[in-house]
Copies of this chain bind each other. A is one copy, B any other.
Amino acid sequence: MAIPVETFFLSAPSQGTLQARIQQMVAEGILSGRFRRGEKLPSTRGLATHLGVSRITVTLAYTELLANDYLSSRGRSGYYVSDNAPEPPRFAQPPQRKDSVDWSRAIATRFTGGATPVKPQDWARYRYPFIYGQTDPALFDHANWRLCAMQALGAKDFSALTRDYYDQDDPDLVAFIARHTLPRRGISAAPSEILITLGAQNALWLTTQVLLNQRRLAAVENPCYHALRDILGQSRCRLAPIDVDQDGLPPDALPDDTDVIFTTPSHQCPTSGTMPLARRNALLDRARALDALIVEDDYEFEMSYLQPPMPALKSLDQDGRVIYVGSFSKSLFPGLRLGYLVGSADFIAEARALRASVLRHPPGHIQRTAAHFLRLGHYDALIRRSARALTERRQVMETAIAQHGLTIAGRGAYGGSSFWMQAPPHVDTTELAGRLDAQEVLIEPGAPFFSGTEVPRNFYRLAYSSIPLNRIADGIALIAAALR
């Protein structure tokens, strides 16, 4: 039996080269059982004409399928589904059914319903995306990342990328972080004091699980990163939200029974304040007096383009009291999911064992690609390129914000990628964001960052890491108009 050429079609929004799409159509037909062993494929000429592609494209696709034993060729008579082609499943699909399980009883612990708001997946389609924490494809060094990924996929690195590391990490990446990344933050750490994580979020989660339980008290900044509150909620610890001021977390406000202090000294999240040196020392003194630990989330330190960043709080730590969280997700791209934890070996050993249980290790290929990208200096070049773009955008943002009389409530002293904004007291920025959405303006309401039930509703965050320079002024104008 011959497979009719009409069963092939190049659907419009498909991916890959024409050749790959033809291969895929044939493979899918075989795997789904639509094409059976021994059936004859359309001729290369016939299929090429039907699809409106060149004959060589079809020939190349068939040749590839031949090599993988999906097809066989019978001299001049053409191509057939190979006798060794994979068999489709022989059992029928079960009909749709309704669960008889009572999930409200079966689920022991619920994790849905946290503080972290749902963010739009389709932010890139907004004309004015003042969204935080996403990538600007125009800034990323796509070509060199690709080269590094290729190198990591090369024969030499192959075992590094494919093997099961059990609870270990890529030694190249750990070595680079120890020798180059951490020294730039004033931190010296041995490999046993470093753990690679699936982004900063995973680092914070691991830390919380190791250090907290129902009896312990965690102090968090208020406002703070909403996902951190979700994470702490899951550890069931007691929570003390501490209101921040312009200089970040005030050490004197920490309760006497605090066990762990979560802080963002470089850029307070979300207000962007930078903690001055005097307060850093005061915070360390207070933690020592309380015998509390400090978890320092040093996010965005690499976005210090206005002046060189202050060393990390961890660099001042003589007690082993500070656990440091770093990330490449912001500066490379968030889909990378690569961060690291730095702390005393005793702590890292527990975090490592927990990570091994939860996920073993971050994928080898990702670790090795990042190691190459860092080692070849592309990362630093990228940071400098981003810094130039962010400097320009920040200037345009500030000008437009001033022009329209909007109020900046917090901004990074060293740089950063966002402003913390304050609307007039009567404004609910969640409602404002909804109205702006219709005008293709994406802003982030501030309420989810705050702890407690009575939270201020008139703050919002405006980031400039993804919005093109020439759209900023119009976007700010639309926000100002909506506020009037």
**Neighbour of A381 across the interface among B68, B111, B187, CB < 8 A:** B68
| Category for how many chain A residues contact B | 35 or more
Tell me the minimal C-beta distance from A224 to chain B in angstroms: 15
Interface string of A89-113 (1 = CB under 8 A from B): 1111110111111110011111111
Closest to A227 in B: B357
- Asked if A4 is at the interface of the complex by the 8 Å CB criterion, the answer is no
A16/B112 in contact, CB under 8 A:
no
B162/A376 in contact, CB under 8 A:
no
- Asked if A311 is at the interface of the complex by the 8 Å CB criterion, the answer is yes
Q: Which residues of B contact A354 (CB under 8 A)?
A: 111, 234
A186/B318 in contact, CB under 8 A:
no
- Asked if A168 is at the interface of the complex by the 8 Å CB criterion, the answer is yes
Interface string of A181-204 (1 = CB under 8 A from B): 001111110000000011101100
Report A215-270 residues with CB < 8 Å from chain B CB: 216, 227, 230-231, 234
A347/B159 in contact, CB under 8 A:
no
**Neighbour of A353 across the interface among B101, B106, B114, B336, CB < 8 A:** B114
Q: Which residues of B contact A20 (CB under 8 A)?
A: 151, 376
A209/B109 in contact, CB under 8 A:
yes
- Asked if A334 is at the interface of the complex by the 8 Å CB criterion, the answer is yes
B166/A358 in contact, CB under 8 A:
no
Question: What is the CA–CA distance of A350 and B119 in the complex, to the nearest angstrom?
Answer: 18
B293/A106 in contact, CB under 8 A:
yes
Q: Which of A107, A199, A319 has the most CB of B within 10 A?
A: A107
Question: What is the CA–CA distance of A113 and B349 in the complex, to the nearest angstrom?
Answer: 10
Question: What is the CA–CA distance of A32 and B27 in the complex, to the nearest angstrom?
Answer: 51
A335/B363 in contact, CB under 8 A:
yes
Question: What is the CA–CA distance of A316 and B121 in the complex, to the nearest angstrom?
Answer: 35
- Asked if A161 is at the interface of the complex by the 8 Å CB criterion, the answer is yes
Question: What is the CA–CA distance of A135 and B198 in the complex, to the nearest angstrom?
Answer: 23
Tell me the minimal C-beta distance from A161 to chain B in angstroms: 6
Question: What is the CA–CA distance of A357 and B361 in the complex, to the nearest angstrom?
Answer: 17
Q: Which residues of B contact A473 (CB under 8 A)?
A: none
Closest to A162 in B: B333
Question: What is the CA–CA distance of A26 and B98 in the complex, to the nearest angstrom?
Answer: 64
A205/B357 in contact, CB under 8 A:
yes
B293/A335 in contact, CB under 8 A:
no
B100/A321 in contact, CB under 8 A:
yes
- Asked if A468 is at the interface of the complex by the 8 Å CB criterion, the answer is no
- Asked if A426 is at the interface of the complex by the 8 Å CB criterion, the answer is no
Tell me the minimal C-beta distance from A148 to chain B in angstroms: 9
Interface string of A371-386 (1 = CB under 8 A from B): 0100111101101100
B153/A100 in contact, CB under 8 A:
no
Report A330-376 residues with CB < 8 Å from chain B CB: 333-338, 344, 346-347, 349-351, 353-354, 356-366, 372, 375-376
Q: Which of A108, A321, A378 has the most CB of B within 10 A?
A: A108
Closest to A87 in B: B308
Tell me the minimal C-beta distance from A382 to chain B in angstroms: 9
Decide: A213 near B377, CB < 8 A? Known: A134-B163, A137-B162, A162-B333: no
| 21 chain-A/chain-B pairs, Cβ below 8 angstroms | A20-B151, A20-B376, A24-B377, A32-B183, A70-B381, A94-B315, A99-B320, A101-B291, A101-B320, A103-B344, A108-B210, A109-B210, A109-B213, A109-B350, A114-B353, A118-B166, A134-B164, A149-B365, A165-B335, A198-B359, A198-B363
What 5 pairs between A and B have smallest CB-CB spacing? A27-B377, A99-B320, A162-B333, A335-B364, A164-B334
Q: A15-B156, A68-B381, A109-B210 are in contact. List 10 more A-B contacts (CB 8 A).
A: A15-B157, A16-B151, A27-B380, A97-B318, A99-B321, A108-B212, A111-B351, A135-B163, A162-B333, A202-B360
